[in-house]
Structure 1
Amino acid sequence: MQMPQKVNMPERDPQIRKKDFDQVNTGYSKEEMRAEAKRCLQCKTPMCTKGCPVEIDIPGFIKCLIEGNYLGAMKVLKQKTNLPAVCGRVCPQENQCEKSCILARNGEGISIGNLERYAADAVENIEDHIEIKKNGINVAVVGSGPAGLTCGGDLLKLGYNVIIYESLHDSGGVLRYGIPEFRLPKKVLNIEIEKLKKLGMKIILNTLIGRTKTIQDLFYDGFKAIFVAVGAGLPVFPGISGENLNHIYCANEFLVRINLMKAFDFPNYDTPVYSGKNIVVIGGGNTAMDSARMAIRLGANSVKLVYRRSEEEMPARLEERRHAKEEGVEFVMLTNPIKFIGNEKKAVKAVECIKMELGEPDKSGRRCPCRTEGSNYTIDADMVVLALGLHPNPILPSLTEGLNINSHGHIIIDESHMTSIPGVFAGGDIVGGDTVISAMGMGKKAAKAIDNYLRK
């Protein structure tokens, strides 16, 4: 018997969407959702669940969707995730649960992420009714990104009083400042966070733990355990000549200015960002893709994405790559910058590059890029965005005596996510996580470990 054809998520026209910041994917209709959900085989041993970092009962929530029981679908999702509307939009399902789906063997795995998004959006205005028996024990969470919100949410449900400390003026961490509106609308994120607040989560903003308060101060304040999830915000630079020229941005600053500080709406918001006409973005991950697509929306005539490997080795999601190409981003593969060239005003005017060839696989399993000597050439550019990754935020570790870190600056944790300081746990980018869902998985494991620690 032939299986029904996969139902793809509807998308806005590239020529229209590249001129604004509205969502690209418009969401399933009820009919499209049911058609896709009915493709699920309801496996007795669901490999999709095993492929999910937070182990969502995927067949369970899909079955509820088929039956029209949206609240039931949400209850199944909320057993494992506190941010289903976020995960449905930005989680790399194609490399996790959808890849493990038995139907993926013929390339037609269930669109689990799109169905999760539908379930979350269908009940976005319905409050969570969860009976929580409070135990009176206080736990502090440092950082309100995906790891912090997940850990805090799980601890709330276990009965703990949870206070999250956030250094910025709004909560969400990388979900708010690092992911563009066209992928994750702030309204969606706000709804998810407000539901956690209604369960009892408190979020204190503009408080930099390490400076405003120390870890020891938190213990003095009566917290019995602390979860550190301060992320990674220190940009990686290539270490080549000219990288300090004007109009060279790190992707972190570029995205923060636009996402969090509304630079796209200058002068209504007093946080301008330089908008070049010939922009080069360097990198191959989702942050590079987001930066390139942001540059298109700021009105660039040309956006070139320069990556030292081939597209096959790119860590960016396949969907994001496709969207970028549709919107006019030009991919320049097997190319690496070796020098930034400036004009008389010390602003970048060109990028000198060298061609690369792929050699043997490195530790990541991807083939190692090697220079092709004598292949140098230049690309004109009046603006460059560096999306080469981020180092862990160094402030809290450097100011916390006894907190051990490794050579990369990551906080060292044991199998229970506890650091070298008893009662202090950590997760997310600060310990080496690299995706939203992996950070959430760490947050969940840490919440269980904290509960076990405090019950001893």
Structure 2
Amino acid sequence: MPCQDPAERRRNVNEVALGYTETQARLEALRCLQCKNAPCVQGCPVRIRIPAFIARIVEGDYRGALEIIRENSLLPAVCGRVCPQEVQCQLPCTVGRKFKDVGMSVSIGRLERFAADHAAGGELPAVAPETGRRVAVIGSGPGGIVVAADTRRAGHHVTVFEAFHKPGGVMVYGIPEFRLPKAIVQREIDLLEEMGVEMVYNFIVGRTRTIQQLMNEDGYDAVFIGVGAGLPRFMGIEGEQLVGVYSANEYLTRANLMKAYQFGRGADTPIARSRRVAVVGGGNVAMDAARTAVRLGTERVYLVYRRSEKEMPARVEEVHHAKEEGVVFHTLQNPKRILGTGDGRVAGVECLRYELGEPDESGRRRPVPLAGSEFQLEV
């Protein structure tokens, strides 16, 4: 898929992947074998009729492709960009299995994105006659949006209560603009509202109103709780209290939701400007944080991960993009403690080197620390 040049995108927050052209999309769609047993559908969490929508792309009927996708998913532009298709629908793809390489599978996610981008708008999803039932959805992240869409389609009155001042949950405060433009998330929210879903912001369930009050006093027949994983997890090592230590939640929320990357040109949210940053972890959130640090002007960004690159849970595409943007990978290493200056600020990280042992409960080889291998990483 066409992408921004790595040197250029280091200096902006625009979307990295530019999407297929019509010719590229139809050529990719022609690779689909239209398998009768459709193993890709079994790999899709919401069971989209994948061969059917791909066939519509081959025909040039992009609106028809989008309508098929929307039978099961109201977030095609989002899912086409950020869902891990390589471990879902593309993993059992017959084409990929023929070549024994999931990277050779039909690019279902990219085709889903293409259909969503090229056929945006159109008819609203069908809504059943009103049932008279009222449903409260707590949280406007991906889970909340899907539940709101499905219950509204069933004819129920739906109200989404969101604690923040903007909808979207992790799609807005967690996933960076360069991976998922916020205008796309807003477009999906707008569709929900056009279907008749009511959105209420700055509403903290449990404080503004309790669940009991929503049901017993406000007349809601059911409540869906989709508040997400809002609390960060720290490592419990020395030095985590130092100034300059961020959880990924805080760092990405400041940069994404509060637009701290504008450095006062449109937002007043402060964020550290550092010459060197170390990001601990090997998942998609770690990649997002490292690539965000690059765009905040950091001279050197290190990604420290205790296993090898092969065991990283991050998407292969995100690892590739991070490397292109200059992120330096320190694998088989992990922080032992964070070093500070006399005035309580981060000065460096003392790390241990690791080797891989036997597989653990996750199926990945367990990282085993090497005694006496300590070294310091200046940040």
Which aligned runs of 4 or more in structure 1 are off by greater than 4 angstroms? Answer: none
2:363: which partner in 1? Answer: 365
Tell whether the 8 Å contact from 1:127 to 1:195 is kept in structure 2 after alignment.
Answer: no
5 Å-filtered alignment, 1:106-255, equals 106=99, 107=101, 108-128=104-124, 130-220=126-216, 221-255=218-252
Name 1:424's counterpart in structure 2.
Answer: none
Cα deviation, 1:366-399, whole Å, max 9, x if unaligned, reads 1111110000000001xxxxxxxxxxxxxxxxxx
Query: Which residue of structure 1 aligns with residue 77 of structure 2?
Result: 85
Cα-to-partner distance string for 1:418-441 (whole Å, 9 max, x where unaligned): xxxxxxxxxxxxxxxxxxxxxxxx
**What's the counterpart of residue 33 of structure 2?**
41
Q: How far apart are 1:129 and its partner, in Å?
A: 5.2
Contact residue 309 and residue 369 of structure 1 kept, 8 A: yes
Following the alignment from structure 1 to structure 2, what is the Cα–Cα distance between the partners of residues 38 and 58? Answer: 13
| Matching of residue 279 in structure 1 with residue 271 in structure 2 | no
* Cα RMSD (Å): 0.9
Rounded to whole Å, the distance in 2 between the matches of 1:70 and 1:197 is 24
Describe how 1:372-383 pairs up with structure 2 within 5 A.
372-381=370-379
Distance in 2, Cα, partners of 1:272 & 1:239: 26
Residue in 2 that maps onto 1:389: none
Report how far residue 126 of structure 1 moved.
2.8
Aligned amino acid, residue 244 of structure 2: H
- The match for 2:48 is 56
| Residue aligned with 1:242, SS | coil
Distance of 2:177 and 2:195 partners within structure 1? 26
State the partner residue of 2:322: 324
| 1:299 pairs with 2:291 | no
Secondary structure of the corresponding residue to residue 332 of structure 1:
strand
**SS state at 1:210 partner:** coil
Name the CA distance, whole Å, in 1 between partners of 2:294 and 2:125. 43
Query: Within 2, Cα distance between the matches of 1:198 and 1:183?
Result: 26
Alignment-mate amino acid for residue 134 of structure 2: N
Offset, 1:132: 3.0
Measured in 1, the distance between the counterparts of 2:52 and 2:152 equals: 24
Equivalent-residue separation in structure 1 for 2:277 and 2:115 (angstroms)? 38
Give 2:261's match in structure 1, choosing from 253, 261, 264. Answer: 264
SS in 2 for 1:130: coil
Deviations 1:158-182 (A, max 9, x none): 1110001101001000011000000
Larger RCO (alpha carbons 8 Å, 6+ apart): 1
* Structure 1 residue ranges without an equivalent (≥5): 1-8, 382-456
Deviation at 1:211, TM superposition (A): 1.2
What letter corresponds to residue 18 of structure 1 in structure 2? R
Q: SS of the residue aligned with 1:77?
A: helix
Q: Which amino acid aligns with 1:46?
A: A
- The amino acid across from 1:25 in the alignment is A
Q: Distance in 2 between the 1:11 and 1:204 partners?
A: 37
In structure 2, what is the Cα distance between the partners aligned to 1:40 and 1:190?
31
Q: Secondary structure at the match of 1:290?
A: helix
TM-score (norm 1): 0.81
Q: Tell whether the 8 Å contact from 2:127 to 2:152 is kept in structure 1 after alignment.
A: no
- Aligned residue among 7, 13, 24 for 1:21: 13
CA distance in 1 between partners of 2:123 and 2:167 (Å): 20
The letter of the residue matching 2:54 is I
3-state DSSP class of the match of 2:246?
A: strand
User: 1:425: which partner in 2?
Assistant: none
Task: Give 2:223's aligned amino acid.
Answer: I
Query: What CA deviation, in whole Å up to 9, does each residue of 1:242-269 have, x standing for no partner?
Result: 1100011111000000100010112121
Structure 1 residue 125: Cα displacement: 3.3
Instruction: Check the 8 A contact 2:303/2:327 in 1, yes or no.
Output: yes
SS in 2 for 1:61: helix
CA contact (8 A) 2:70 2:125 kept: no
- Unpaired runs of at least 5, structure 2: none
Counterpart code for 1:203: M
How far apart are 1:133 and its partner, in Å?
1.2
Q: How many residues align?
A: 373
| Residue number in structure 1 paired with 2:62 | 70
Deviations 1:263-314 (A, max 9, x none): 0112121101001111100011100000000001111110000001111111
SS at match of 1:292: helix
Task: Report if the CA contact (8 A) 2:127-2:195 is conserved.
Answer: no
In 2: Cα distance, 1:140 partner to 1:80 partner: 21
- 2:304 and 2:146 map into 1 onto residues whose CA distance is 35
CA deviations 1:175-201 (Å, max 9, x no partner) are 110000000000111111101110011
Measure how far apart 1:130 and its partner are.
2.3
- Match in the other structure for 1:394: none
